[in-house]
Amino acid sequence: MASIARTGPTTRWGLTDRIPLVLLLVAFALGTPGLGPETRHFSDDTVANVLAAILFIPPIAALALSWRYPAVAAGLGLIAGAVLIVTSVLDLLGLFIGPPPAGMIVVDGLILVFAAVVAWRSWLVRRG
């Protein structure tokens, strides 16, 4: 029986890698005031707005690059997952803009789950 030789690591993104990333983006968008259960107003807080914009870049870039540059996308997925886990925990602890409302606790929980899955799937892709 012939076996297929592997010439090197395969770094490729599949549907099971992209779906958690899309769900993470949706959950992250739900945390935006006016789009979901976020009732805290931080429109005057420039730091919170800049941080939110910066945190949104790596998952979007990872998704966009996952078809053409899978290794780069995997690195961005790892960064996005790790950073969003940390920021969600900090938000749940009330260290950003005060204690979160009940709805945001659910959204932060979803972000934590999806960010962990994105980081794990990105690690698997990166590892080859």
For 81-92, what is the HEC assignment?
HHHHHHHHHHHH
Q: Which pLDDT score, from 0 to 100, does residue 44 have?
A: 66
pLDDT single digits (tens) 3-48: 444 444 456 888 888 999 999 999 988 987 777 888 877 666 677 7
pLDDT single digits (tens) 52-80: 888 889 999 999 999 999 999 999 999 99
Q: Name, in order, each residue with C-beta under 8 angstroms of 43's C-beta and a sequence gap of 6 or more.
A: 33, 49
**Residue boundaries of the structural domains of the chain:** 15-37+46-127
pLDDT single digits (tens) 4-15: 444 444 568 888
Say if residue 87 is exposed, middle or buried (CB neighbours under 10 Å; 0-12, 13-18, 19+).
buried
Is pTM, for the whole model, over 0.75? yes
